[in-house]
Structure 1
Amino acid sequence: MVLRDGVLVDTTTQARALLDIGPHETLAWEEVRAALRPFFGPIPADPDSSQMILPAPDDPETRLEITSGGGRRHLSISAPPVGAGDRLRWRVGARELALLRQVMTRTPAPAWLSDDENRVIWSNAAYTDLCTQQGADPATPPFTLLPGDDLEDRVTRASIPTQEGTALSWYEIQSCRIPDGRLHFAQNIDAAIEAETAQRTFLQTLTKIFAHLPIALAVFDRKHRLVLFNPALIDLTRLSAEFLSGRPNLLTFFDMLREQHMMPEPKDYGSWREHLQDVINAASSDHYVETWNLPSGLTYRITGRPHPDAGIAFLIEDISAEISLTRGYRQEIEITQSVLETLEDAVVVFSQLGHLTFCNAAYRALWGDETEATISATDIAEATRSWQSSCHPSPIWGDLREFVLTLRDRAGWDAEIHTIAGERLFCRAEPLAGGATLVRFSPMPCGIVRQCRNVLQSHA
């Protein structure tokens, strides 16, 4: 290779192949130095002596001889002859090298190789395009990477401005150590960053909502560590915020509830541990709902639900007022039923839809000994047919059916019926709250019989 005034003017065929240039292509001295650097290392920009010999770092028998003088610079490379085996292996390696170059050229992810001073000594086309978009020098990476241990691989997140300059574009950069420096691969993670941001925003929104929720919430992750709770959990369980903020696991959480007497006391600690594992398994499969009657008199409803990513969520609700109201309501119903059972009159109650909801012992004795199951399945139509079959013909049965099923305002009325057995009964229909109807059958007193006869005679 011959250079005149810093420009390549003459080369052999082998030299052109080494420099990877065409027959009529010329290079400047700086470009020749850059092309020979991978083989012989750094070459002085202006050799001091008229003759310099540089051996190849990995092959001392291969030498570069530089002769300067008279505005000309002559470069010659001497190397031992290549045998047939080395030539064949070189051809295979050349094909593989061409393939790898095509792969790296078409790889959409930016990749580059940097030296110990973070200077880029190799890069692919995607990296060059990224630098061009950013208006950055390709010799310096556009990403800010924190220094790390050279012996360890690491993954770093870094951001750069977008083309519009109004936002940041995020990349995840994997760096690994190789003999020539550090190899870096960058992958765009804007979608992942947006998803994480949306998740954090959603979690903050849920946290604000849960802060005003009267039901206590405790969410555990797949490792059964507490990751989310609301203030109601502190109020209902009497557990400290410091303890809950420490992210206790499920077993520690329930153990602390037991120590605070905020859950039913187990018979023995061994069975308690087994029961707790059953609770976790049931909550994981969405089958856990339990009512805790606490020693303090409070009643809690505990619901376990599976959480995304194999987590578990527990809802703790204070239902003491509801239970107390239900118990009082049931007690009132039982008292009312007991009172009606003591009446000598036959009493039956129908719902707004005409279903029989209650009857006392006198009713069952009057109209036949029927079981509770049969009575509960009876409606007003079946009941009036049964009554009609045991009585002489009367026009009140149709009126009674219409009275029970009507949705209009109603007023109570009464009538006299005669059973086939010869008994006279006083039938009274009264509207009740909620559209229900009470029908009462009582023996006809003598005074009422005479009064009814007088009324009939006066109308006649």
Structure 2
Amino acid sequence: IGARAQAKDGKVLADMVWMRDISSAAKLLIDLSGEGDLPEARDLHLRGLLDALPFPIWLRDNDLRVVFTNQAALSQRVAGPDDEQAETARDEHRPVTRIQELQNAGETRSFDVTECPLAGDDGDEDDDTEKETGGLIGYAFPHGSGENPAPPAAAEPAKLPPHAAMSEAVLKGLGTGIAIFDHTAKLVFANEAYRDMWRLDADWLAEGRDFPEILEHLRAERRLPEGPDFRAYKMEQLAMFDDTEGAAQSDPFGDLMHLPDGRTLRAVAYPMPTGGLALGYDDVTDQLDLESSNNAQDAIYRASLEHLAEAIAVFGSDGRLKFWNPAFARLWDLGEDVLGPQTHVGDFVEATRPLAATGGDWDAKKAHIISAMTRREVTRDTIERADGRTLEFVNAPLPDGGVLIAYTDTAAASALSPSPDPAPPGEDGDDIAGNT
């Protein structure tokens, strides 16, 4: 398969040729583990580009088998989550987007999942009954992120080679700005999000710009991160193009860009196997603001918990200690040699044995305590300690799978409780006093 990229004036920008052996493609079945060969996705140019994107993308054949997944799909394990959705998209020859609850990094999150059919090579264009797709492209974004574009009505345009059709369905209109430069740093592709993100004119880019020209233009418009030495910054950026030959095994690299207009972009560069770079940009301003707000709120919560008289501890979903306040350490007389991020709930209970063991079968009591501490429902109990103190125990499950444990010394709590107010005049107390 071959394709030529040209500017509007007919100037040739790049020639691309793909060759692959597809004799075993019909027997291929790839699962999310990513094991096995990928003869249906050998084009290193496109594969490198798709792997550089920060959101999950997968490709199905016409039998709905997943034959390619990018690195984001493999790491987040959301590729091809719903065969029924894919079947609907294939049979009705239209993109289908649905909200799905998927496991991601140990949490259940909502994703906008799209399955989009690609134009096939068989059948009459005017006869829908004979129309057959050339497989499907799927992609997913966190629900509510505003980044998942409505898929283009791509089932109807003129038929394209599979790689061009995939590029059209995935890259056009994405919220991620994508720009591809060849080994000479000439721009060979830029999507609309890239132009909008950097406020670049499409006609100006189409004149055959290179990376240094774009940097100079952005500097003149004050759209690049400000620094004391632009020449050094420019040379550092151009150095990314060095030694990109044979970069098929190279990992993507990138950094955050803090722009003068207050936006923060996450930039990722992926070396292309034949030289050049694919650059991706995401606006993460709102995400960072939210993280900063959450961190500030978390600091307030921690400061509040540390000054409580109650002994407080939080164990994560893995059973490891995540937080404890000074009252917790004092109550159980535990030092830093016991309390730490790797302390398991079982280790903690064992460390309390000198105070918690009051006779009987310790192993049975220990199992009972651990069960009460890790139960996924609010649990209240009373603990009689070996030193004679009585503790009230509360376990409160947390949304992330962890548990919050609180201990209150009932004797100390009673001592701090205010005594009842004396009876006001006219009540029984005054009557008794008046009759004496």
TM-score relative to the length of structure 2: 0.51
Instruction: Measure, in 2, the Cα distance between the counterparts of 1:372 and 1:249.
Output: 59
Instruction: Measure, in 2, the Cα distance between the counterparts of 1:361 and 1:332.
Output: 20
Instruction: Measure, in 2, the Cα distance between the counterparts of 1:235 and 1:263.
Output: 14
User: Identity rate of aligned residues, in percent?
Assistant: 21
Higher-RCO chain (CA-CA 8 Å, sequence separation at least 6): 2
Instruction: Measure, in 2, the Cα distance between the counterparts of 1:402 and 1:373.
Output: 21
Task: Report the counterpart of residue 442 of structure 1 in structure 2.
Answer: 408
* Pick aligned residue for 2:176 from 177, 200, 215: 215
Alignment pair present for 1:258 and 2:219: yes
Instruction: Measure, in 2, the Cα distance between the counterparts of 1:391 and 1:299.
Output: 52
Deviation at 1:221, TM superposition (A): 1.0
Where in structure 2 are there 5+ consecutive unaligned residues? Answer: 1-158, 416-436
Deviation at 1:386, TM superposition (A): 0.9
Spell out the pairing of 1:306-345 with structure 2 (5 A cutoff): 306-345=271-310
Which amino acid in structure 1 is aligned with residue 403 of structure 2?
T
Task: Report the counterpart of residue 403 of structure 1 in structure 2.
Answer: 372
Contact 2:252 2:271 in 1 (8 A): no
Which amino acid in structure 1 is aligned with residue 188 of structure 2?
V
Task: Report the counterpart of residue 186 of structure 1 in structure 2.
Answer: none
Which amino acid in structure 1 is aligned with residue 308 of structure 2?
L
Alignment pair present for 1:228 and 2:166: no
Instruction: State the secondary structure of the residue aligned to 1:291.
Output: strand
The C-alpha deviation readout for 1:232-286, integer Å capped at 9, x for no partner, is 0111111111221122111112222333333311221232233223444498654
Task: Report the counterpart of residue 413 of structure 1 in structure 2.
Answer: 380
Instruction: Measure, in 2, the Cα distance between the counterparts of 1:282 and 1:344.
Output: 61
Task: Report the counterpart of residue 395 of structure 2 in structure 1.
Answer: 429
Which amino acid in structure 2 is aligned with residue 403 of structure 1?
A
Task: Report the counterpart of residue 20 of structure 1 in structure 2.
Answer: none
Alignment pair present for 1:288 and 2:253: yes
Spell out the pairing of 1:184-223 with structure 2 (5 A cutoff): 202-203=163-164, 205-223=166-184
Give the number of the structure whose alpha-carbon radius of gyration is greater.
1
Task: Report the counterpart of residue 382 of structure 1 in structure 2.
Answer: 347
Instruction: State the secondary structure of the residue aligned to 1:399.
Output: helix
The C-alpha deviation readout for 1:113-165, integer Å capped at 9, x for no partner, is xxxxxxxxxxxxxxxxxxxxxxxxxxxxxxxxxxxxxxxxxxxxxxxxxxxxx
The C-alpha deviation readout for 1:36-94, integer Å capped at 9, x for no partner, is xxxxxxxxxxxxxxxxxxxxxxxxxxxxxxxxxxxxxxxxxxxxxxxxxxxxxxxxxxx
The C-alpha deviation readout for 1:201-260, integer Å capped at 9, x for no partner, is 633541353112110000011211000110001111111112211221111122223333
Do the aligned partners of residues 432 and 309 (structure 1) sit closer, same or farther apart at CA in structure 2, a change above 3 Å counting? closer
Alignment pair present for 1:246 and 2:207: yes
Instruction: Measure, in 2, the Cα distance between the counterparts of 1:321 and 1:373.
Output: 39
Do the aligned partners of residues 374 and 344 (structure 1) sit closer, same or farther apart at CA in structure 2, a change above 3 Å counting? closer
Do the aligned partners of residues 439 and 419 (structure 1) sit closer, same or farther apart at CA in structure 2, a change above 3 Å counting? farther
Do the aligned partners of residues 218 and 399 (structure 1) sit closer, same or farther apart at CA in structure 2, a change above 3 Å counting? same
Contact 2:373 2:405 in 1 (8 A): no
Instruction: Measure, in 2, the Cα distance between the counterparts of 1:372 and 1:220.
Output: 55
Instruction: Measure, in 1, the Cα distance between the counterparts of 2:231 and 2:181.
Output: 24
Contact 2:315 2:321 in 1 (8 A): yes
Do the aligned partners of residues 388 and 330 (structure 1) sit closer, same or farther apart at CA in structure 2, a change above 3 Å counting? same
Which amino acid in structure 1 is aligned with residue 234 of structure 2?
R
The C-alpha deviation readout for 1:165-194, integer Å capped at 9, x for no partner, is xxxxxxxxxxxxxxxxxxxxxxxxxxxxxx
* Pick aligned residue for 2:235 from 267, 274, 284: 274
Aligned residue pairs: how many?
Answer: 250
Where in structure 1 are there 5+ consecutive unaligned residues? Answer: 1-197, 450-460
Which amino acid in structure 1 is aligned with residue 398 of structure 2?
L
